Amino acid sequence: MSILTEQVAALMREVAAREIMPRFRALAEGDVEEKSKGDLVTIADRASEIWLTPRLEALVAGSHVLGEEAAAADPSLLERLSDDRALWTVDPVDGTGNFVAGRETFGVMVSLVERGETTHAWIYLPVTDEIAVAEQGAGAFWTSGGATERMASGRAAPDRADQSASFYVRFMPEDWKNSIERHADAIGRKESNLCSAFDYTSIARGHHDFVTYFRMLPWDHVPGTLILREAGGVVRDIETGLDYAPRILKGPHLLARDEQSWQETAAQIRALRAHL
């Protein structure tokens, strides 16, 4: 791994130790707010993003940060996706609802985008002290218990009854929502982590087969997409057939372990939509 990869991983561990884990299952009254209906933010989210922002910008000259909480306060910051300056995306606590509820399924996600392409990605799971990292063209790696191994997503189970998947359809147009839900009826195991950090790393490690999303906010999807691709997986719009890129903000996207699995599942969902 490069020096930059190690530096960012160290920052993520430090911010988790300083700002996140001391507040896990210890949030005080007033530490949680609702940005919009059902969309929570905590003091840990805000403090972590504030701590990370200047430190990430110092690592790459001329870079700037697009953080979830800063963008929630000022949506015009999304325009930073359009220029070619080096851009860090930051999700300081992904899975905030889980964090508030005391569930362990939350993480910290960071990526580096250069000229519109993701070159580096990190997903850190503070509870277990596990981290996934990827560099464009150099593979994805998982570190757990002091041991590091290359991530390989593998081939999804051929029979839907044996597959494991997550289907997030909250923001889907009605026709895609209905076709995906009909497809989901035949899947053997359905689960909702409500945490992109867990969804992406689970597929990249070969523990999960598919996930669907519509709203593709960069802090939620840019890091995981590079990690999954470098592990052999696919993240692509079901309707257009275009690979996900940092400047894409919506569309019915399917995450899959490999190309063949993506093609088969996307075809099944499209066929169901055509018959609605």
- Per-residue pLDDT tens digits for 18-52: 999 999 999 998 999 998 888 999 999 999 999 99
In this prediction, residue 36 carries a pLDDT of 83
Domain stops at, among 88, 121, 150? 150
pTM of the model: 0.97
User: Do 43 and 172 lie in a common domain?
Assistant: no
* pLDDT band at 275; cut points 50, 70, 90: confident
Q: Is the pLDDT of residue 276 over 80?
A: no
Q: Is the pLDDT of residue 246 over 80?
A: yes
H-only helix segments in the chain: 3-15, 43-59, 68-73, 96-101, 174-184, 196-204, 218-230, 259-274
Average pLDDT for 236-263: 97
Average pLDDT for 45-71: 98
**What CATH number has the domain bearing residue 268?**
3.40.190.80
What is the number of structural domains in the chain?
Answer: 2
Domain stops at, among 150, 182, 199? 150
User: Do 100 and 80 lie in a common domain?
Assistant: yes
Taking each helix axis as running N to C, give the angle between helix 196-204 and helix 218-230, from 0 to 180 degrees, rounded to the nearest 10. 10
DSSP string, 87-120: EEEEEEEESHHHHHHT-S--EEEEEEEETTEEEE
Asked if residue 25 belongs to a domain, the reply is yes
User: Do 40 and 111 lie in a common domain?
Assistant: yes
**What CATH number has the domain bearing residue 133?**
3.30.540.10
